Amino acid sequence: MPDLKPISKKSIPAALEKAKHYRLLNQPWQAESICRDILNADSDNQQVVYTLVLAMTDQFEGRHRKSLKKALEIAGKLQDKYQHEYGTGLIYERQALASLKRKTPRAGFIAYEYLARAMEHYANAEKVRPANDEESVLRWNSCIRLIRQNNLEPSPDEPEIQPFLDV
C-alpha cells in the first residue's frame, strides 16, 4: 500500500477552503480526509480541528458509536474554551439526531440523553461566548424544540442512561 503524500504549509488555506466546500457538497468523508492531510502538515491549526469535528459529525448517521468517541477526542484539541464547548455540544446534538433516525430500542431515551449533554455544553459556551455571538443560545433552543417535537424524555427507570445500545 502506498504512503500518504504530504501537503505543503503554503497550501493549507486553499485546502481548508476545499474541505469546507466538500462539506457543503455533502461529501464529509472527503472534507475529513482533507482536514487530516492539513493536520499532518500543521497539527495545531484550530480552524482545521473545528472543521474536522464538523465533517466527522456530518457522518454520524449510520456509523458506529466509535465515531462519537473519535469526534470528542478531536474536539478536545480545541484550545479556545468557547469553541471547545460549542463544538462538543454540536457533537452530542448531532449524535442525538443520528440516534433518532436509527429507530433502535430506547432511541428516544438515548437521544434525550445526548441532547441533555449537548445543552450542558451549550450553556457552558454561552458563559464564555464572544460579544454578540448567540450561536450557543440558538443551538440550545434547537435542542429544546427537538425534545418537544419528538416528545423525548429521560428514561423512567435509569436516570442518566448510558447510551450503550446506540450503535
pLDDT digits (tens, 9 = 90+) for 27-58: 999 999 999 999 999 999 999 999 999 999 99
Query: In 3D, which of 124, 34, 36 has the Cα closest to residue 82?
Result: 124
Among 59, 89, 105, the domain-final residue is 59
Residues 112 and 42 in one domain: no
| pLDDT computed for residue 65 by the predictor | 64
Q: Quick one: which of 165, 166, 85 has its CA closest to 122?
A: 85
Q: If you search the block for the grid coordinates 462519537, which residue do you land on?
A: 68
User: 52 and 116 share a domain?
Assistant: no
Closest to 82 (Cα-Cα) out of 34, 35, 31, 139: 139
Does residue 75 carry a pLDDT above 50? yes
**Rounded to two decimals, what is the model's pTM?**
0.87
Q: How many domains does the chain contain in total?
A: 2
- Whether residues 85 and 148 fall in one domain: yes
Rounded to 5 degrees, what angle do the CA atoms 64, 68, 71 make?
A: 130
| Calpha distance 13→64 (Å, rounded) | 31
- Both 54 and 86 in a single domain? no
Residue pair 132/85 in contact (Cβ under 8 Å)? The answer is: no
Compute how many other C-beta atoms are within 10 angstroms of the C-beta atom of residue 118.
24
Residue 53 belongs to domain spanning? 1-59
Q: Judge if 158 and 83 occupy the same domain.
A: yes
Domain membership flag for residue 99: yes
Say whether both 95 and 47 belong to one domain: no
Same structural domain, 31 and 89: no
User: What local confidence, expressed as pLDDT, does residue 158 receive?
Assistant: 64
Q: Are residues 52 and 101 in the same domain?
A: no
pLDDT band at 102 (very low <50, low <70, confident <90, very high): confident
158 shares its domain with 86: yes
Q: Is residue 67 part of a domain?
A: no
Same domain, 96 and 152: yes
**Same domain, yes or no, for 94 and 55?**
no
Q: What is the amino acid identity at position 83?
A: Q
Residues 49 and 7 in one domain: yes
Residue 160 confidence (pLDDT): 58
